[in-house]
Amino acid sequence: MIEYIFWGFALRFVQCLLEAAPFILAGLFIAAIFQRFFGSAETRRFFGEGTKSALLRAWGIGMLLPVCSLGVIPVARELKKAGLAGGTIIAFAMSAPLFNPLSLLYGLTLSEPVTILAFAFFSLLIVTLVGTIWDRLFPEKTEVPADDQAIPYGIKRIVSVGFSAAKEASGASLIYILIGLAGVALLGVLLPQSSLQRSVNYDNPYAPLLMTGVAIPVYATPMLAMSQLGSMFQHANSVGAAFILLVLGAGVNLGLVTWIIRNYNWKKALVWFSLLLLIIVGLAYGVEKPLFPTHIEPADHTHAFDIYCQPFSKGTSNFYQTTKEKLGHVIDPYEIYSAIILVSMILVGFVLRFFDRDSRIETWLKKTEPVRSSKYDIVLPGPVLGLLILVGLIISSGVGCFSFYPAPDVVCEEMTIAKTEALSGALSGNKSHSKYWIEIYDDWTRKLEVGVYLRKLNLSEYHHWKAQLLREKLELLEHEIEDEEHEEVRRLVSDIHHTHRRMVDAYLRDLN
């Protein structure tokens, strides 16, 4: 029993850390850019502090920046240091993890576009209402910080960004991030394996409420949340539960909640959380019927939330080897590289804190030195350069979509590999191997659609349903593998071969 608890916690903790690493790095450097390039006064001006548009700006800026609910913590801490109002900070902190260019495009292929766009609008409604009521109930007298951290132009300003990010990575943000990771890891200990498969069915009136309890300690990256949303829509599960999963599962974690309590006291945090739950649950029940996908036959279960339950089945003996295999199935190389960089930054931050207790490096960075320049040199103000960097980060996310969603011919090659592995595993009776490759196969069909839309700015219903038909048959195959219906598995394998070939012909012939 102790082994199940220890290894279940460890697996979920490490898995979420690796998935979150790229977003945490982005959050650390975004916080450093606000600190060193903008400074306190310009950061408040950028967010429209004190104006009627502050909450709208916070929502818009948050929706564009590539951070998750863990990566937003260092940014929120920096905004607090800059003197922004609590409502504006929380509006940013909750909206930033929900969408980014990659996840938005992915979401549009997983469900009806009107549903995803409605969810985006409702997120604006939530942060605006909660932020406005918060600021009315608890008006703050924000004072301009006496010590502005912006650094004058030059090589020191560039160095200061890395210095600030490393210090933050080893400071209070690290504690809150660890709390957030521990929350979702505890779910992997407390929830029995597969216990959430039937809890969010469309005919369960308590599905949104149950999802509320689960989603608060859950941590999900924007892409994972969109993937789970897609699975819920594909199975015609509760739309209200899907909405709560997005807003709370991707937008909130225990680390962020702890930071809010620590900085705004229990009374304010309780009011904020009560308002948040009241509005979210009300909206969830309000969208349940209008946005329900009536053209899809409801399923009686979903595997979307198995990731939050106990990962080991009864009879598992070699926990180390099983953990290694499970991590190998879900972790991408770029997440490992990001985790290595993040851990290195944390270690550098601890070294700086130990050997530079007198803040001599900080003093040296702030010290203004004469710079010899020619008449051709152009000095850009820090806020302008910081804004250009943030815009560049957003543009890079957009450009990265073309790498994440390759051209149809590249996707079709990868799909062929996934098809071979998935179907051979199904025929040989290797359940884990086949189910692993079915998920990859399914994911490539969605990337195929997004890749075409990116390059053609259009995707016909004909081509969409070609991919949708293949996904439906893959789901049927997964169910038959679980039920060990060997005759039906062989029939579906043959059927999927023909469906795959017709889909590839349609995409390569008509769209090239």
Do 128 and 88 form a contact (C-beta atoms < 8 A)? no
Both tokens of 85, joined, read 């109002």
Helix H or strand E encompassing 388: helix 382-404
Burial 159-194 (b: 16+ CB within 10 A, else e): ebbebbbbbbbbbebbebbebbbbbbbbbbbebebe
- Among 242, 251, 243, smallest CA distance to 220 is for 251
CB-based burial label for 492 (10 Å; 0-12, 13-18, 19+):
buried
Threshold 0.85, pTM exceeds: no
Q: How many CB atoms lie within 10 A of CB 49?
A: 19
| pLDDT tens digits, one per residue of 488-504 | 889 999 999 999 999 99
Q: Which of the listed ranges 166-175, 200-209, 272-281 does the model predict with the highest average pLDDT?
A: 166-175
Per-residue tokens: 378: 């152009």
- Interatomic CA distance for residues 43 and 445, integer angstroms: 42
**Which residues are CB-contacts of 49 (< 8 A; sequence separation ≥ 6)?**
83, 84, 85, 88, 142
Contact criterion met (CB below 8 Å) for 65 and 393? yes
More confidently predicted of 475 and 396: 475
Identify residue 343 by its one-letter amino acid code: V
Q: Are 39 and 60 in contact (CB under 8 A)?
A: no
Q: Tell me, what's the pLDDT at 36?
A: 86
Is 512 within 8 Å of 420 (Cβ atoms)? no
Average pLDDT of span 276-293:
83
As a whole number, mean pLDDT of residues 245-250 equals 83
First to last CA, the chain: 56
Say yes or no to pLDDT of 81 above 70.
Answer: yes
Mean of the per-residue pLDDT values of the chain? 82
String of DSSP letters for 311-350: ---TT---HHHHHHHHHHHH--HHHHHHHHHHHHHHHHHH
Alpha carbon distance 291, 117 (integer Å): 11
CATH number of 405-510: 1.20.120
Domain ranges of the chain: 2-369+381-401, 405-510
Q: Which pLDDT belongs to residue 169?
A: 94
- Give 92-115 pLDDT, tens digit per residue: 888 888 877 667 766 666 666 677
Residue 24's φ and ψ, nearest 5 degrees, are: -65, -40
Tell me, what's the pLDDT at 346? 95
Widest pairwise Cα distance in the chain: 81
Position 237 scores a pLDDT of 76
Phi-psi region of 377 (alpha: psi -120 to 50; beta: other; left: phi over 0): beta
Q: Residue 511: which pLDDT band, with cuts at 50, 70 and 90?
A: low
More confident site: 307 or 109: 307
CA angle 448, 300, 489 (to 5 degrees): 60
Residue 481 has pLDDT above 90, yes or no: no
pLDDT digits (tens, 9 = 90+) for 112-147: 667 777 877 888 888 888 888 888 888 776 666 655
pLDDT: which is higher, 193 or 284: 284
Which of 141-150, 159-168, 398-407, 478-487 is most confident? 159-168
Q: Tokens for 273, please give them.
A: 């959380």
Residue 477 has a CB neighbour count (10 Å cut-off) of 24
Collapsed DSSP state (helix, strand, coil) of residue 291? coil
In the prediction, which pLDDT does 65 show?
A: 84
Identify the CA nearest to 249 among candidates 221, 288, 269.
221
Helices and strands per DSSP (H, E), number in the chain: 21, 0
Q: In the chain, pLDDT over 90 holds for what percent of residues? A: 16
Contact 46, 247 (CB under 8 A): no
Tokens of 233: 């829509």
Q: If you ran DSSP here, which 8-state letter would residue 140 be given?
A: -
Can you spell out the DSSP letters for 395-419? HHHHHHHHHHS--HHHHHHHHHHHH
- The answer to whether residues 30 and 22 touch, using CB atoms and an 8 Å cutoff, is no
Report how far residue 361's alpha carbon sits from residue 367's, in angstroms, rounded to the nearest whole number: 10
What is the per-residue burial (b if ≥16 Cβ within 10 Å, else e) of 220-250? bbbbbbbbbbbbbbbbbbbbbbbbbbbbbbb
Lowest mean pLDDT among 142-146, 194-198, 219-223: 142-146
Is pLDDT above 80 for 270?
A: yes
Whole-number pLDDT of residue 226: 76
* pLDDT tier, 350 (very low <50, low <70, confident <90, very high otherwise): very high
pLDDT band per the 50, 70, 90 thresholds, residue 372: low
Token pair for residue 372? 């010899």
